[in-house]
Amino acid sequence: QAPHSWGFLFVGGWVDLEMKFYYSDSKYLSIIFLVMFFHWACDDNTTDDLTDINNCGIETTFIKEIDNIDSLGNASSSNIKMLDDCSYVAVGGRTARPWVTKFNELGEEIWSKTFDEIPIPQGNYGTGVIYATAVDKTNDSGYVISCATSVNHPSYNATGRIIKVDSLGTTEWIQKFPGNRAHHGRDIIQTMEGDYIVVGSWFTTSAVTNEKSAFMARYDVDGTLIWIERFGGECDEDEFYSVIQKPDGGFIAVGRFEHESSDYNCDFYGYTDLWFVSTDSEGQLLEETKTGGAYWESAYDIIDLGDGTYGLAGKKRHEKRKPVNAWYIKMDGSGNVISEWNEPDYINSSGRNDALWGLILLPDKQTIVALGSKTDGSNSSQHLWAFNASTSEEVWNANYNEPGEGYALGISNAHDGGIIFFGKKDNGRLKIFKTDMSGLLY
């Protein structure tokens, strides 16, 4: 049973932990109950059940399929956040539209919503998709969600959105990104001031451009654009994937920065560096670094390690015909590399494409866990890696399905100190995985 529904049965009625008492006609029995309840509450031998209810933290591990997968179809996932009411909120896509769900510590759905009011993109090349990419809890107990679209062509007239919902998932407002070209929101946070910052990329008119294809935008609580700033160089694949707020009120965004090489220019076949951008509170550039070699590097997530340093999840191809390897980097506040972990070339194949997609810092503050994937050709599988927060050395790793089952995005700390994340099993069906702090499923 979920902790919120635990109660105690006495002669004369039922009481739950919200102190609702459904009593019989006898006032005398009601008084007896109150005495019995008071005696129970003061008993020195009380079990830990009440502590679990008040503080969350059911110690459990499981793999659970998302609800209604047979009736509503499979879903994609992007992000999970732990909430302070013994639950989690998560977003992704379902039926080609954004999807948000809330579930309890056991993975049981509390509520779920697909945003049917958002039209599915239709254009010259078939049907597109709009999906949710990130979610953050808001000060009013609601949620703010960023969205991206799978299409760029003008015939679709499609773009990403910001969605604000209340605590039950009811839509409060939906705001399109500005302009008449597709914007893709990749991450969103509520700031310490209470408004919202979203980052991502937008569709530029050509591969060689001065339009700067990455963006950072600030919205007020009603969805009104306060400002938007654009970042990048002369290629069209500059993109932000993750953003955090600094203690001074500014922001750090990470992603990829496209550059030319000795073999190709960005008009034909661009390469990218891992991109670290620091701004002030108004989105004005303070400093940036581009880390990588001649080929592909990118960052997909950043977390604050609490000591003035940051952990980044990404991928890296260090040689032209070598694999793309998973990559963890520790950086200082200016984007300089302090230490890093490079996945070894365990297969000498340029068809392999491994990556780290998301990061959490465990409660011990000494261990970072990354959600990632390994892909060889069309066969993908789900993995976790753990790293020492000081040295970036690998502590352990684990896989959770067979090659070809696929992988999913979204990882969070769990209420019991463990790890909760999305993954796939059983021919690619989306599942909620809950492990202990060492990545073990009992």
In a domain, 234, yes or no: yes
Indicate whether 27 and 67 sit together in one domain: no
**Residue 403 and residue 429 share a domain:** yes
pLDDT tens, position by position, 27-39: 333 333 333 333 3
Rounded CA-CA distance 180/121 in Å is 14
The answer to whether residue 106 sits within a structural domain is yes
Q: Are residues 192 and 218 in the same domain?
A: yes
Average pLDDT of the segment spanning 75-92: 98
Identity at 322, one-letter amino acid code: K
Residues 306 and 221 in one domain: yes
Cα distances from 362 to residues 89, 303, 369, in angstroms, run 19, 12, 7
Q: Please list the helix, strand and coil fractions of the chain in percent, rounded to the nearest 5, in that order.
A: 5, 50, 45
399 and 421 part of one domain? yes
41 in the same domain as 83: no
How far, CA to CA in Å, does 172 sit from each of 104, 145, 149, 167, 175?
23, 12, 21, 10, 10
Q: Are residues 153 and 26 in the same domain?
A: no
The range of the structural domain enclosing residue 425 comes to 62-435
Rounded to two decimals, what is the model's pTM?
A: 0.86
Q: Extract the tokens encoding 230.
A: 């654009």
Answer yes or no: is 257 within a domain: yes
Question: Around Cβ 76, how many Cβ atoms within 10 Å?
Answer: 18
Mind listing the pLDDT tens digit for each residue in 393-420?
999 999 999 889 999 999 999 999 999 9
Q: What is the pLDDT of residues 114-162, one digit of tens each?
A: 999 999 999 999 999 999 999 999 999 999 999 999 998 888 989 999 9
The total domain count for the chain is: 2
292 pLDDT above the threshold of 80: yes
Distance, CA of 413 to CA of 418 (rounded, Å):
6
One domain, residues 106 and 246: yes
Cβ contacts of 237 within 8 Å, gap of 6 or more: 201, 213, 256, 258, 266, 270, 272
pLDDT at residue number 265 = 64
